[in-house]
Chains A and B, each alone.
Chain A
Amino acid sequence: MRPLLRLYPRAWLDRYGEELDDLLDATRATPSTALDLARGALTAHLRAAASRGRSLVTGGSPMSFEWPQRHTTSIALLALVITAPTLIILSLYAAAALIGSPDFSATLNGALADWSRFRILDLFLIAAPTVAVVLSGLSMLTGSIGISDGALRLFFVVRPRVFPVAVLLVALALTAFWVGHLGADFLAGRP
């Protein structure tokens, strides 16, 4: 039941968390209790947003639920880790081409030929940059659900930061490479 407490706003938890935690010790853990806590957390977020008077629509109702992006760096790091194998392999190919060493290229091709037997690895290397683009983009996205003029509306705001932007650019470059490479293969009729 305690993990549900983490759904509450931090300021709310600082004020009431210990008392509520104590109350949970004396309360039977049931699905309805869990639901009640989740509903309480949502209400606390709505009240916090309303008390801040934040609304992204001028003249709209201050009733809005915002999800702040607290893990920007962690998500961008995850994106980098996911796309790192593709980055390393393509960098090695680029280095081989720049050096112009036949031995280096042959060694690299030999190693990758072994891996290519596993189709899933190929797919991962191709898909990873796209996944990283999505993740690094999402890491900078904040948003809110608000009620304006009686209608439920979604608002999104992008807050750029250096590291996620750098990861996004690298992932975009790798994605562009794959699109160009695979597109050229397709047009040339190569499998």
Chain B
Amino acid sequence: MNRSDDVIIEIKKLKTYLGGTWVHKGINLTVKRGEVLGIVGGSGSGKTTLMRQLLGLAKPAAGSIRIFGQELTSASSDTLLAIQKRWGVLFQQNALFSSLTMLENVSFPLQEHTQLNHETIVELAMLKILMAGLPSDSAIKYPAELSGGMQKRAGIARAIVLDPELIFLDEPTAGLDPNTASGFDDLILNLQRTMGLTIVVITHDLDTLWKVTNRVAFLGEGIVLCADKMSNLIKNKHPLIQEFFNGPRGRIAASGYLSDE
């Protein structure tokens, strides 16, 4: 698994103009192979916009985004497709196809992008469903029949079905109860270890940030204010960062993890 291209994502001087303001004024950020990078920031700091740009769903006003060494902002559709097969995405609302069963949802990328026979596709998809911690009898259910936590797990199963090198998670624990959220954190860590994934996770969940990420990038004032380990990030003196992590909830979450170290 040792490869020379150790930088998976490289963002340089990225600028975005949205609704009359400069949301990003020059973002620089790199993500290395095997890393779990958290992206945080206050509301309106452009986290979701940044992720949409990383996914090629929106174009920045200026700057460059390189993923797997390929420039994304000017990629041809073939290059983009090649990149798209190497990443998986879990959207905030899961974005499961409501007219397909969970199994069909998970096997969809396999059906589109591989020439495997039907039995193999079903087995590989079932394997990912089990790896995501879902019971096998839920495979024939429709997304609407699943609980929120199970929908998230199905979303993750679909994101990893092509064995991607990189996955994006947008608010993976939002709307889950603490117990389910904690289980989901474990799942993310587990998958990261077993499959050697690189993960970019956008989240407000302080527990997820402490437990799952290696490094956290804090977006504010249109730039990356700081990108460092959580334990270092919370010591940063910038008022926005202090405000974010030093609320009562931030301190409680931090105390639990700092005492472990």
* B partners with A: no
Write the residues of chain A forming the contact surface with B, with a CB cutoff of 8 angstroms. none
